[in-house]
Amino acid sequence: MYNPKPTSKFILFSLVLLLLLSFLALSICSELDLSDDDGDDVEALEELIALDEKEDSHQQNAESEFVSKAQRIVLELNNDNTKRAIDGNEYVLVLGYAPWCVRSAELMPKFAEAATALKELGSHLLMAKIDAERYPKVASTLDIKGFPTLLLFVNGTSQPYTGGFSAEELVIWARKKTGVPVIRINSDAEAIHFLKKYSMFVVGLFDKFEGPDYDEFTKAAKMDNEIQFVETSNAEIAKHLFHNFKATNLFLGLVKREPEKYTEYEGTFSTERILQFLDDNKFPLITVLTELNAARVYSSSNKLQVLIISEPDNFKKLVEPLQDVAIKFKPQIMFIFVDVREDNLAKPFLTMFGLEESKDSVVISFNYRSNLKYLLESDATPTSIEDFCSGLLSGSVSAYYKSQPIPDNVYTPWCITCETTSKQMEKLAKHFKGLENLIFARIDASLNEHPRLQVDDYPTLLFYSADDKTKPITFPTKSSAKDLAALVNQNLKAQDPEIRDEL
């Protein structure tokens, strides 16, 4: 059986309690005379500590019991019951996992929590999980190829899960896909209950739940996969949900739990525009990159991203002023924090810039439209980051190309094929020695970049003519030295008639 990790709230409580108890024990022991005459004081202290430990244990047991109960709601699939479960239910959400997979372990308690919430809401969706390592044949028939994998089966036909990975996001996605894209709220009591459950939502106010504007709203609710939509016809309830609401008969706004809490939609109601509004505003001002949200972040429609790669303690000093900077550049730029301690997330970015050994905070940017990358080459401060962002939008910041220090001598690249090609190039260089208008050079393109050096594979041979340095000619790397010499001759004859044809 899965042994859930304690929640962050519980860990924080335990640490605080431990520190308080340690401080309490030290301070009391330093003040008390621990002789036999004062034994009652010692016993009293021990009783207090015992009570605290009992309360701590009780809380841990309560949380464990909750998670255990939640997981019992999730059906465990095996060789015998899988086909029956999927064929016998209209909706089945399946989690394919492996016991050794860290991401599976992180997702399973959230999946169980979502199952509990859906059951309380009266959903007919069956939540199920399967140990794909223990039952590989069944997992294969379900098309589970990695871990964790989430698939929704509708009348036996599967579709991939496309939502977020918190319990709330799992519930939202599941309800939308099973026929409840919008929640209607008719009273303050319902609004209060709703606000306790959802951290982000779209609220729509309509005089009547009909008409073209309402139709566009409901279409957007069905097409969006991440955000809960809620509707009301009561202006007071709308104000309860969206505190910045101004009296009107038609309204739509996005609510988030962060400094930028209320964002009002402006313009005509169309499905496409509503979805674009959500895409521009659904992420926090500064998104914390995790393995679970990485796919959503990378697939964002915002193609200009600024990443701050740093130690959390250093980043804390930047957070508040950086939120003000993020507001100024929204929605042109998406701001992302990457914890430098998370190697799987941070190291690939640092490697792209040749900054694996950097000890300071690193600020970089990617423009996914132009496929260019940029580096803030000064210290990371709110002012320097703001200037960096302004330069990105104005085009005054130059693209970054990583480069090694100029070497004392040429070396052979790391791949075997590169070594063979390199030796051929040395032979060619000797053959054409003496031609002042021809230079042979080699570069480790995995560690050095240049805007006119576009390398997609190793090795690559490029011939730059004197007439046009922007469009190099690609030579075949599997050619013999003699064939390569012929290609060089062919491209040089127009520039120099005294070319040697024999190798």
Question: Which candidate in 221, 308, 418, 443 is catalytic?
Answer: 418
289/298 Cα distance (integer angstroms): 10
Contact 351, 301 (CB under 8 A): no
Count of H-run helices and E-run strands, the chain: 16, 17
What long-range pairs does 409-414 form, CB within 8 A, spacing at least 24?
410/442, 411/444, 413/442, 413/444, 413/446, 413/458, 413/459, 414/444, 414/446
Pairing of strands 262-264, 250-256: antiparallel
Task: Report the b/e string of 254-292 with b at 16+ CB within 10 A.
Answer: bbbeeeeeebebeeebebeebbebbebbbbbbbbebbeb
Q: How far is CA 225 from the centre of its chain?
A: 16
> What is the SS3 assignment for 335?
strand
Q: Report which of 117, 234, 233 is spatially closest to residue 180, judged by C-alpha positions.
A: 117
151 contact partners, CB below 8 Å, separation of at least 6: 93, 94, 96, 142, 143, 144, 158, 159, 160, 161
**DSSP 3-state percent helix, strand, coil across the chain (nearest 5):** 45, 15, 40
> What is the SS3 assignment for 103?
helix
Structural element, H or E, at residue 193: helix 188-197
| 418 catalytically annotated | yes
What long-range pairs does 481-486 form, CB within 8 A, spacing at least 24?
481/424, 481/427, 481/428, 484/424, 484/428, 485/428, 485/431, 485/432
| 389 catalytically annotated | no
23/269 Cα distance (integer angstroms): 59
Cis peptide before 459 (omega within 30 of 0): yes
Pairing of strands 149-154, 91-97: antiparallel
| 29 catalytically annotated | no
Residue that the structure tokens 């309560």 belong to: 62
Question: Which candidate in 62, 327, 415, 494 is catalytic?
Answer: 415
Q: How many CB atoms lie within 10 A of CB 464?
A: 16
**Backbone φ and ψ of 34, nearest 5°:** -85, 35
Residue type, 27: S
Question: Which candidate in 25, 45, 48, 101 is catalytic?
Answer: 101
- Residue 367: strand pairing partners: 304, 372
Phi-psi region of 488 (alpha: psi -120 to 50; beta: other; left: phi over 0): alpha
Contact 183, 221 (CB under 8 A): no
Q: How many CB atoms lie within 10 A of CB 396?
A: 9
Catalytic (active-site) positions: 101, 415, 418
